[in-house]
Amino acid sequence: MFEKNPLSPHLQIYKWHLSMILSITHRIIGIVNSVAMILICLWTISLLFGEENYEIIKILFQSFFGKLLITSLSWSFSFHILSEIRHLIWDLGYGFDLKISKITGVITIIGSMVLTIIIYLFGKNII
């Protein structure tokens, strides 16, 4: 019986719309953030190996790739925060109306970009 359980619908069947894009992005970002958490743990553990061994990681972080990595992580965390708040509001029984759902979806996308900039500027003591 269990072997005949239907899997999630195939993505290519339906016409793409905002809620669908956000739902898929939410799931992908969840997986990306899970991998990021493992890398964050490894980065923390690497501190135990002393200053000399940390030099490689420091050079990586000070490079363009390092800045891109942190900016990408800031965006994926920002998106996750806003998307989770959207889901929590749904759990409370609000925001199911199609128009409201579209508005909160747009807020999640634009808000995640704005929040990324704020986090970066705040982190660098620019604001």
Partner 1 sequence: MHYSTKKWLVIKLSSIILIPLMFWFIVNLASIYDESYAEIVFFFSKSSSKALYSLFLIAAFSFFSLTISEVFEDYINDEKIKNVATKMLYVFAIVMPIITISSILSLN
From 17-25, 83-91, 93-101, 104-112, span contacting partner 1 (CB under 8 A): 83-91
Q: How many CA atoms lie within 13 A of 4 on its CB side?
A: 1
The CA distance from 120 to 110, in Å, is 16
Angle ∠(103,104,110) on CA atoms, nearest 5: 90
Q: How many CA atoms lie within 13 A of 94 on its CB side?
A: 7
Give residue for tokens 């806003």.
Answer: 82
Contact string 38-57 vs partner 1 (x = CB under 8 A): x-xx--xx-xx--x--xx--
From 12-20, 100-108, 117-125, span contacting partner 1 (CB under 8 A): 117-125
In the bound state with partner 1, the residue whose beta carbon lies nearer, of 84 and 97, is 84
Q: Which of 18, 23, 25, 30 binds partner 1 (CB under 8 A)?
A: 30
The DSSP result for 53-120, as a single string, is HHHHHHHHHHSHHHHHHHHHHHHHHHHHHHHHHHHHHHHTT---SHHHHHHHHHHHHHHHHHHHHHHH
Q: Kindly state the smallest distance separating residue 99's Cβ from partner 1, in Å.
A: 25
Q: Which of 18, 95, 107, 120 binds partner 1 (CB under 8 A)?
A: 120
Residues found near partner 1 in the complex (CB under 8 A):
2-3, 5, 7-8, 27, 30-31, 33-34, 37-38, 40-41, 44-45, 47-48, 51, 54-55, 58, 61-62, 66-67, 70, 73-74, 77-78, 80-81, 84-85, 87-88, 91, 119-120, 122-125
